[in-house]
Structures are given as structure tokens and as C-alpha cells.
Structure 1
């Protein structure tokens, strides 16, 4: 077993919001205990977000086997408030977020937690794999033969490593003291809450470690499912996330690379939203309502300083198979934002 620093304290709080996941929650929680960690080194904080299925019955059976599980019951208020309540309740030196239909890679936490505790980094950013149900059941995971660890500032990660389409909060160990000091929380009541949270963390983190070690297994859903299609609510929520990035950019030195990257990420998200509106929302009236809403949130949205070409280059780098929709999205936003 890995030797840990500060073993007289709880090293890690694992925050798991729960809503209608009775088919996955057992595997999820089981993965947290398949870590070669003593129960006194970590705690599970499970937030019952008003689940309507048998998820809590499954959890009750597990609670009886362990003494390091805390359950918070709340009315259905969404993922952001559930996570915020988890942060407020946490007592671990570090925090990770685990979605209740995903899982942690077996024995991935000991080394990462030790790395975090020994370095006192604000963030430890790890890697992840996307797997379907069959691959998860067969334990078909590929781990890197050579583990790399680099120390960077949060702004360096923002500039050099962050894919704006993959601002996943569950791939990172967060120093709890850092989140509290910087008052970083999730925006309540919206989808796409990971985007502003991740950018806020990176802008404020002085010491980060980034590694290719696999921490997390993301369970791929049915991408053709109606739940993945854009709704008016999701469009409004993404508009709020986009607006938050825009406001963050305005707080930076206007000529700095960080400012330009934040604006680039804003326009990347905006282009994705425009494309989704074209594909998923049929009613022109609703389309225009969303555009009007976004224009109110970001009244000074424009394309000065060569943004257009930078967006195209940036998205081409991260999304090479969807280059054509960049052009479509740009034509839309140029027409609708007049």
C-alpha cells in the first residue's frame, strides 16, 4: 500500500451526486473502494438530488458496510447545487467529483492522492478514458506504460493543454482550501456547468500538476439519444456559460495570451451552440429568442483582432472532422448578430 503524507487527516473527499442511476450507482461506488485505500483516508459524500428510482436503496446496502459515507438529501436542484453542497460538507484535503454513472479506474487514486498531498498542488489534472458498457464490464482499459508528470500554472494549462470541448471537472483533484479561498463554485441550475468552473480554477491556480495517468472512466451514452439534443433550456444555459467566459476574459490584460485564449474559447463554445441550434431546434422563433438572449448576455460580442481566423484555426486543431460546421456556424452568427 502507498505510504501517504498527512495520514492523520482525511486526504480525499469523493463527491457523488445521485439522481435516477439505480443501474449504475453500485458499480460507481464500488470503484471508489477498489483503490487500495484505507477507509480512514477518504470519505464519500453522496448527494441524493431527489432521486425517484431505487438508487438510495442500493446505496443503503453499501452504507452498512462502510463508516466513511455521508449522505446529503436535497430536493431536486440539479448537479451544480449538489456539487456545491458536497464541497461545503467535505473535510478532505482534496476533492474529486464522480458522476454516478461513471467510475474510477481501479487503484488509480493512491498515487494521484499521494502526489497531491506531497506537492500541495492546487490542482492535479489526470487523464481519462471513454468506454461503453461492454468495455466497462470486460475491464478493457489501456494504461500508459510511461507516466509523465509536469508542473505548470493554471494559466499555462489553459494556454497549452485545455481542449475547450472537454472541460470535465471529474478528471482533476482539487485542493479544498484552494476552492474555498478563491470562492469557486458551480453556477446553480444550468447545464454545461463544467466550463466556467474549470476556467475559473485554471485562472486562479498557481501550482498544478498534469499527468497522463488514468483516473477516470467516462461511460459513453447513446449519442443519438434525444437527451443529447439541444433544448431551449440547454441553449440558454450554454449561453450563460459562454457569457461567464467572456466576463473572465474582460478581467485579464487585454493584450495577454490568456485574454486571447479565453476569447477564443468563448467563440468556440458559441460556434458549437450555433451549430446545435441549426441542427436541433426547428422553430425559427425559438432560434431567434436564443440569439436575442445571448446578445443580451454579451452585448459587445464582435469579431475584431482577427478572431474569425483564430477560431477557425483553433477549432480545426481540436475538431478536424467537423471543420465544415465551423463555416456554417460562422455564417449564422455573422447574420444573426448584426
Structure 2
């Protein structure tokens, strides 16, 4: 088995069939890849749709569990996987047609543990883009790097659907999704990349990311946003641990430390923005969090490290918001003003 496509499913009946249609129009034979779906206690007909597909396609497997969150579902998918490579795909996204054979071929030929590729962002309700814009894969350049050099040169995006990964790497390094928290993709991806010996990024059009309204990322719900705050703190802690465990003798050590610290600062900035915008925390709660972040070296925000915005946006943030956020008196005053505003 060359590839296991792993899909956590929760209340996605509107999208799962579109996802499956893209997976069944690939240029791998059914005995070369499998699709494993873990239904995480869905309350809609999504699991029933998957069941219908599994009855007609021997390489599709449905596993059901009580609601435990996407990380638990992904981990259960991984436990059931048998492919040499695994790919974590979201149920509301899809792939371009006939791209997997070339993708797996590149990974195998170059003996890669991780291969990253391109995605296209598509608003919900827009016309499907089924054809890949990559026509001649023979001309693609594959530069193999170890994980630390890769992060130093390319940085990384958080999402696990941006790359395929050798299943054996996950098993030998015991890397799984942390359950019960948000920002699990960021922690998983950083941990994975920094443990890789051979990885690459290829300019190949593979994935379609659908911007879904009222998703957990765009939700304004207070409870969800409190989970985001806790998830940010957890991610900042894990990035601190990754920094502590980095090989100090590596030639790109300093660049990667700066990158990870920049990630921490981006999370701190986002945490404070959410706190103000949604009136989420009390003064004492925020004070306790900031003290913890200081011990992790993530607060106050240091503009020289970066991570907060890009280009002119970064310059604007660092001249306006960052000085306010770094000054606790100004920050608490802002909290007070936000709480009395409609």
C-alpha cells in the first residue's frame, strides 16, 4: 500500500461526497491507496454517505467513535493506516484529479520522509477547480533538505494537509496529534519537520482549501474563542520545548530558533487581540497568562524577532499595537475600555 488518506469527519455531510469524488478520480489503482475515515460522533448523515462509498469501494474504510475531537479522530486514522505514506485531509476540502501517482512517485524516487506541495484557496460555493495547473511533473525541481535546514529556508505553514509524510517517521518518532487542544496542526507540523532527515517542497498543484463560513476558525462563539486562547498557550509552550531540544550544533540553529520564537510571538499577539475583541478574560486571568508567557521567553513581544504581521503590516503593528500590548498599564486600560463598549 503506497498511500493512506486519513480523514476526520464531524458533521460534514454537505462536503464529504465532493471530497470522495476527487479521491476516486486519481491515477492510483485501488490497491495502491486507501481512504480511512473516522467519524467523530457526527449528528448528520455524513457517516451514512461514507458507508455507502465503502460498500462500493474496497479501499474506503469507515471507523466510528464517540465525539472526542479532530485530533483523536486523526490519531485513530493513523493507527488503522497501512500505507508507506500518509496524508491528513479535511472532509470539507478536496484534491485536483489525477495528481497522486506523480506525487507519490516524487516522494519515492527521492526517498523523502515529507513532501510538501501547493494548495488553492476557494470560497465556499465557488466553481470547482478540478484540473491541476501542473502539467509536466518531469520538470519539477526537488531539493532535499533535513528538517532543520528546511524550516530555516522555507519556514512552514501549520496545516497537516499541506504535505504527505512517511508513516514510519511518525511511528519511530512517536509523533501524534495532541488531543483536547486547538492549534494541534501547528504543534504536529513543527515537531514533524524538525525530526525529518529528508524532506522537500515541490511546486505542484494538489490541494483545494475551501473557506467555510462559521467553521471553528471563523466562529465568533465565546466558548470556541476561549478554547483558542488555551490552545495558543499550549502551542507556545510546545514551541518552547522544541527550541530547548534543538541541536545547537546545526548550522541553521539560530535561524530556526528565531523562526520558532516568531511563531510564539504571533500567537501572543493573536491571543491579546482575541482577548480584547471578544472580552474573554479578566485582568487577573490575563496577568497570570502574561507572567507564564514571560517565563517562556514569548513576552514582551520583540519586534526584532518578527512573527507579527508581514511587510508594511508588520511595520504598522510594531509601531502601534505592540508597544501598547507590551505596556501592561496600557493593555489593561484597553481591556477596560473594550468591556464598557457596546
Q: TM-score, normalised by structure 1?
A: 0.85
Match of 1:269 among 246, 253, 267: 267
> Could you tell which deviates more after superposition, 138-147 or 75-84?
138-147
- Per the alignment, residue 152 of structure 1 pairs with 145
Shift of 1:296: 3.5
Distance 1:204-1:62 versus aligned 2 partners, 3 A rule: same
Matches within 5 A, 1:13-24: 13-24=4-15
- Per the alignment, residue 282 of structure 1 pairs with 279
Residue aligned with 2:143, SS: strand
Shift of 1:194: 0.7
Shift of 1:141: 6.5
> Could you tell which deviates more after superposition, 174-183 or 232-241?
232-241
Match of 1:248 among 234, 242, 252: 242
Distance 1:220-1:143 versus aligned 2 partners, 3 A rule: farther
Matched, 1:28 2:25: no
Asked whether the equivalents of residues 11 and 117 of structure 1 are also in contact (C-alpha less than 8 Å), the reply is: no
Asked whether the equivalents of residues 236 and 293 of structure 1 are also in contact (C-alpha less than 8 Å), the reply is: no
Structure 1 residue runs of 5 or longer lacking an equivalent are: 1-9
Asked whether the equivalents of residues 96 and 130 of structure 2 are also in contact (C-alpha less than 8 Å), the reply is: no
- Per the alignment, residue 339 of structure 2 pairs with none
Shift of 1:225: 8.9
Distance 1:258-1:137 versus aligned 2 partners, 3 A rule: closer
- Per the alignment, residue 51 of structure 1 pairs with 42
> Could you tell which deviates more after superposition, 136-145 or 68-77?
136-145
Shift of 1:75: 0.8
Q: 1:143 and 1:134 mapped to 2: Cα distance?
A: 24
Distance 1:95-1:140 versus aligned 2 partners, 3 A rule: closer
Tell me the C-alpha RMSD between the 2 structures. Answer: 2.8
Q: 2:243 and 2:132 mapped to 1: Cα distance?
A: 38
Q: 2:326 and 2:281 mapped to 1: Cα distance?
A: 14
Residue aligned with 2:126, SS: helix
How many residues are aligned here? 321
Match of 2:288 among 268, 289, 292: 292
Structure 2 residue runs of 5 or longer lacking an equivalent are: 333-342
